[in-house]
Structures are given as structure tokens and as C-alpha cells.
Chain A
Amino acid sequence: MDIVETQSYTFCEPPNELQLKSGVRLGPITLAYETYGKLNGDKSNAILVFHSLTGDAHAAFYHKGEDKPGWWDPMIGHGKGFDTDKYFVICSNVIGGCKGSTGPASINPKTGKPFGLSFPFVTIEDMVAAQRYLIDHLGIKKLLCVSGGSMGGLQALIWATQYPEYVHSVIAIATNTRHTAQQIALHEVARQAIMGDPDWQGGDYYGKSIPARGLALARMIGHITYMSDKSMDEKFGRKLISKERLGYDFSHDFEVENYLKYRSGNFVQRFDANSYLYISKTLDYFDLSANGKLTDVFAKTKAHFLVISFTSDWLYPSYQSKEMVRALKANDLDVSDIEINSSYGHDAFLVEVEGQSKLISHFLARMQKGFNIN
């Protein structure tokens, strides 16, 4: 059993704060990260992976004493898609989060109190700018690959477009180049659920009771969007919870109701409501083509791409990945893409392990062959 510990790196100490896209300066900044496998002598086998909205740096292996591995453990490890016998895999957390990196729950050094809503707005560009400090700190000049699903894919795209000299290849999974009205709308409902909870108290709830009901509701909405009609029907159908017949009241009848309650109950124990607000807004601000045509955005990158999408994903639908692929092709870039037939909805990027592992390992093998660190 491979054991891993979350590490952290602090940088941008005042007066050298990070200038965020909004113009506000943030520092010091701490980023939580984990690494798997060994960095080779010429530091040419580093892969940076990113997590999604509510993920964390614990992507693989086990924390000491825990019986559940990291969130992408089926994909990262010995002989797996991201083979840690060959590659040095880094998973970095994001600023704005609540899993060991600087975010709204962190103590504001100026006041000695948690930031709460005084935490500045961060964008995906800002998250990536912070990660660049980490990669520099690790002494890595060029990453063999950057990869992530969902929000992780957005970070990978920002890496490739903002820091092209750092990125040899990109694996973008179940992601897009701009958040659409539907995605923004779904996030807004989640945010309203949190902000509508009286315990939220304008974001100043630290040390008091947390807005658990609002955050749980936000998570329930999220969970629905991560599945598909078919996967929910296969998993729950109309099955009742240990009942022979309907109760004709508002207690829970159906298994799907129980599932949402259980999953969201777990979630509020591990995630900060303000981080949910910040990061969901970060996602909504994401638009690679905000300043022009999407094809122009990829003009500077020379990276090789593998773009993966899933047929039943309605949160990040395949057509969005295909738009991205078209823009990449228009730039004469080397791009492979696949729409995997899956009924798991957006969750497919976490659970469709077999096909993705093959695609990723073969893609990485080709990338390593053509990789020149200089």
C-alpha cells in the first residue's frame, strides 16, 4: 500500500504578492500538493494533474491510517494510466480552496481572522499562476503533461495557453473552453442555496455553526448534474428505502433521496461553503475566448493534445470538447480526441477507468518519446 502525505509550499510573501486578475494582490500564498513516483535526473518525467471543483491534492495512494485512497487512485499508480513507475505525478490544490491552500477559510494575516468574503476573487488564471510558483519551486522547467477533468481540464488549458513553454502535452477530460449559461445557472442555484442559509451570515460563520443545510443542498444539485438520467435510473430506479410501500408523507421514500442526503451530509463535513461560492464563481468566469476567437487562443501553444469527452455528460457536453478540438486543429496542432460511450454522465471521467487508462498510457508513451526538455 503506497502511503503519501500532503505537502505544502508557501510563497508570494509580502511585498511580493501575486497580482490577481482582478487587480487585487494576494500573499503569502500556500498551496497544498502531493507527488507520486520519482522525478528523474533531467526532470523530464513530471506530470501535473488538477482536481475538479470539490477535489483536493490527495489524488492517489493512501494517507497514513486511512482506508480510502485519493480521488483518482484508479488512474494514478504502479502500472496505471499515469504510471508512477515511469512518471513523477504532481497534484496541486487551488487557491480559493479549503484543502490546505490559501482560501476564504484561511487566516487573513492582516486581521488575524478568517478571510471570509474579504478573500479576493480568484480566476482559473490565478490558480494556475500560483501553481507555476510550485512547479518552479520543484525545479521543473517543462511538464511532460498537464491533465485534468472538469475544472481540472480548465486549469490544463490555461497552463497550455498562458505558459506554453512549460507544457509539452495536455490531456483535457470532460471539460470546455467557456462556461455556458446552463452551467452558470446551475452554479447560481447552488450559491443561492448556500447564501440563503441563515447560518451563512454573509460568509462570517467561522467558529460558529456552518451553513450546513445550504451547502448540503448545493452539493445535492451538484451530484445530480454529475450523473445522467440513465446512470441514476440504473443505480436507483424507483427503489424504496426499506419500505414496502410509499409513505404518503415527506419523509424519504426513494433510495435516490437517501443517496443525496448521505452524500451531501458527508460533504458538509469536509468542504467549506465559502470555497464552494468562490470556486463555482471562478468556473463561471472562465471563458478562453473572452478576448477574441477561440482559434487565436491556442496560437502560442505547441502542445500535443488528447481530448476526452463522454456521450452522456450533460454538464460538460461533448460538443464543447469538439469545439475545442476544432480550434486546436485550426492551429495545426497535434490533437487526438475521443468521445467515449458511457452512461455515467460527468462522473464518467472518474469512473470510466479502463478505456481512459489505455488512452492515457499510450498517449503518454508517445509524448515521452518526443519530449525534449529544452
Chain B
Amino acid sequence: MTEEIRFDHQIILQWVEERSRVLDLGCGDGTLLKLLIEHKSCHGTGVEIDEKAIYTCMEKGLTVSHVDIDTGLADYSNKRFDYVILNESLQEVINPQRVILEALRVGKKVIVGIPNFCHVRARLQIFFKGRVPLTKELPYQWYDTPNLRFLSLKDFRYFCKANTIKILQEVGTAGNKRVAFRPNLFANTGMYLLEK
């Protein structure tokens, strides 16, 4: 069973405590939420802007709201959720600072997963090719990308410090492995457990 679960989802499943109330921002087809409900008996709510994904989430028996992450958090009361998850969605929002601070308002803890735009392969492409990186993990052309924000793990740490956000956990991942050695260089994604 476990081997079918995506590595980033496995990390999130380890972090989230049983029976938590979870809000998944940019929940997509609801795979992670469903896992959290099945494995951790969580109460889950998803937020998703793609109409088709809403149908898939509903089919999975999930609660899901068809709204933009940038505006969709204002309605929730303070600390309503135990965890707010922004996995692979933060780089797509218009105002990430406001979204993270809002997520920390409505959630006791926030989980963030970001793609690392300063992976060594990306750096080499910029340096040797003189072109914006295009890798398996960063597959989008500059003219056709959902990503609005380009950051590294280091950038995110600085951001947290500047906004007095506590990083409880940081895990760099590459494929199905944790990257402990120089994650800002060798991790494709950074996973964070945050608190304010």
C-alpha cells in the first residue's frame, strides 16, 4: 500500500496527527485529502480552482470549495484547522506572503511544499546554457507555466525568518529520497512544517 503513496504525501502523512482538521489549498483531485482521511482519520476540506477537479473530489466523497487560494482563506475563522496544506501550490498564487500569513491565521500549523528553482541542474542550465531552466522537475516553458513565483529552499527560509514564522521541520526531497546534504543544491522540492 505505502509504496503507491507519493513521497511528498508520505512526509505529510507522517507530520499530520490523527483526527486533525485539515485544509488543503490547491487540493487538485483530492488524492492527499483522501489519504489523510483514510490513514489519519482527518476531517478534510479542499480548495481548488479547477472545475474538473471539483467533480473528482466530490466523487471521492470530499468536501471541496471551488475558489481561488488567494481569496478563499478570508472566510475561515482563526485556528479553525489543525493543519493548512500548500503542497505544490504556493508558487502559483498571486500574493504568497498574504496566503501564508492567512494560512497561519486559520491553521495551527502550515505545511508547505515548494519546487526548488535553484537545484544544481537548474543552476547549470542558467550558467552554461544561458537559459531559464527546463528540467524534469521544472518542466514549464517561460511562456507557458502556472508558476508565478520562483524560489529556492534558501529563499523560503529567509522569507520565514523575515515574517517570524517558525520552521518546525524542513525536508528536501529528490525523487523518493530525502536530501539531507545541501538540500538547496540537490533537492527538487522542499517540504516545510511551519508555525507562527
Residues of A whose CB lies within 8 Å of any CB of B are 304, 322, 325-326, 329-330, 332, 334-341, 355, 358-359, 362-363, 365-366, 369
* A359 to B66 CA separation, bound complex (whole angstroms): 13
Once A337-B66, A337-B67, A339-B51 are accepted as A-B contacts, the answer to whether A330 and B58 lie under 8 Å apart by CB is no
* A355 to B65 CA separation, bound complex (whole angstroms): 16
Between A304, A329, A339, the greatest number of chain B beta carbons within 10 A of the residue's beta carbon is seen for: A329
A330: which B residues are within 8 A, CB to CB? 75-77
**Interfacial residues of chain B within 64-85, with CB under 8 A of chain A in the complex:** 64-67, 74-77, 80
Subset of 8 A-B contacts with CB under 8 Å: A325-B65, A329-B75, A330-B75, A332-B77, A336-B65, A339-B66, A359-B55, A365-B61
Query: Would you call A362 and B58 a contact (CB within 8 A)?
Result: yes
Nearest CB in chain A to that of B57: its residue: A336
Residues 155-183 of chain B: 1 if any A CB is under 8 Å from the residue's CB, otherwise 0?
00000000000000000000000000000
CB of B144 closer than 8 Å to a CB of A: no
Residues of B whose CB lies within 8 Å of any CB of A are 45, 51, 54-55, 58-59, 61-67, 74-77, 80
| Secondary structure dominating the interface of A | helix
B59: which A residues are within 8 A, CB to CB? 358, 362
Between B45, B66, B76, the greatest number of chain A beta carbons within 10 A of the residue's beta carbon is seen for: B66
CB distance from B153 to the nearest CB of A (A): 33
A326: which B residues are within 8 A, CB to CB? 74-75
Query: Would you call B54 and A335 a contact (CB within 8 A)?
Result: no
* A366 to B74 CA separation, bound complex (whole angstroms): 27
Between B67, B75, B76, the greatest number of chain A beta carbons within 10 A of the residue's beta carbon is seen for: B75
Once A358-B58, A359-B55 are accepted as A-B contacts, the answer to whether A335 and B63 lie under 8 Å apart by CB is yes
Query: Would you call B67 and A359 a contact (CB within 8 A)?
Result: no
A369: which B residues are within 8 A, CB to CB? 61
B65: which A residues are within 8 A, CB to CB? 325, 329, 335-337
* A365 to B75 CA separation, bound complex (whole angstroms): 27
